[in-house]
């Protein structure tokens, strides 16, 4: 039984990777840099996107918003007059707790890739499944809120190990929490030594300029490689 389960999982991931490569070919064909944006629920992904989507000069930004149900986050971003496509995993995809390559491919006809330079895919809030499924992205960014505790890199290592950047959000709350930032960064280095990290606050704006600059550099770098 165990061997059968492993085989089924491997086949599912292989099928996903095949579709992810097709997605990547389409993104590259249009010169679009794609960021897979991941976190636990409530870490502040949407707030951090609100801070940057209209401030990247010369970069046409689009957002693919992943949720199980509803469009609350997409509605917030749409108010900023950026193109937003909602992708719900329930009921069409069984209420999955992540976006996979096939789901993203189903939305490509609505994304108007010719009109954007940077696609930000806000994945479903979850610290497990999104890390397992490539969607054809260039880079992965993970948000870790200080309200989640210092142990998350040790408890969910794959999420932290597969990302290119860790945004440590809500640092404005540090004076009010029993949270050891140095312990979190130590734990982070245990699972992904030296991974780039930015300490910031979506509420106060601290660190946002560095986050904005990182995105701009990602677009320039990936665009030059395409």
Q: How much is the CA Rg of the chain, to the nearest whole Å?
A: 17
Question: Considering the entire predicted model, what is its pTM?
Answer: 0.92
pLDDT at residue number 225: 65
Residues sharing a CB contact under 8 Å with residue 72, sequence separation 6 or more, in sequence order:
none
pLDDT for position 226:
59
Would you state the pLDDT for residue 1?
Answer: 47
- Residue with the larger pLDDT of the pair 90 and 226: 90
What is the pLDDT at residue 95?
85
| Dist. CA 150–CA 10, nearest whole Å | 32
Give me the CATH number covering residue 127.
3.40.50.300
Q: Which residue has the tokens 């990936």?
A: 222
Rounded-to-integer distance, Cα 91 and Cα 88, Å:
8
- The C-alpha atoms of residue 189 and residue 195 are separated, in whole angstroms, by 7
Task: Tell me the per-residue pLDDT of 24-38, one tens digit each, with 9 for 90 and over.
Answer: 999 999 999 999 999
Cα–Cα distance for residue pair 89/42, rounded to 1 Å: 18
The number of distinct structural domains making up the chain is 1
Give the domain extent around 100.
2-225
């Amino acid at each position: 039984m165990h061997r059968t389960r492993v085989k089924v999982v491997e086949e599912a991931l292989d099928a996903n990777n095949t579709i992810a490569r097709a997605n990547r070919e389409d993104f590259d064909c249009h010169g679009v840099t794609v960021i897979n944006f991941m976190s636990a629920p409530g870490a502040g992904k949407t707030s951090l996107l609100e801070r940057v989507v209209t401030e990247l000069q010369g970069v046409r930004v689009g957002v693919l918003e992943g949720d199980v149900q509803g469009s609350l986050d997409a509605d917030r971003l749409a108010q900023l007059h950026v193109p937003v496509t909602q992708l719900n995993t329930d009921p069409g995809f069984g209420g999955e707790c992540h976006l996979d390559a096939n789901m993203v491919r189903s939305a490509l006809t609505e994304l108007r890739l010719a009109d954007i330079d940077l696609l930000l895919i806000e994945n479903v809030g979850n610290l497990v499944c999104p890390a397992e499924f490539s969607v054809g992205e260039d880079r992965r960014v993970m948000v870790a809120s200080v309200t989640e505790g210092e142990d998350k890199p040790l408890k969910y290592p794959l999420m932290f190990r597969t990302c290119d950047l860790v945004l440590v959000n809500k640092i404005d709350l540090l004076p009010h929490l029993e949270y050891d930032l140095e312990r979190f960064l130590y734990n982070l280095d245990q699972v992904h030594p030296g991974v780039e990290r930015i300490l910031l606050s979506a509420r106060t704006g601290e660190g946002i300029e560095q986050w904005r600059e990182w995105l701009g550099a990602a677009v320039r770098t990936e665009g030059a490689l395409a």
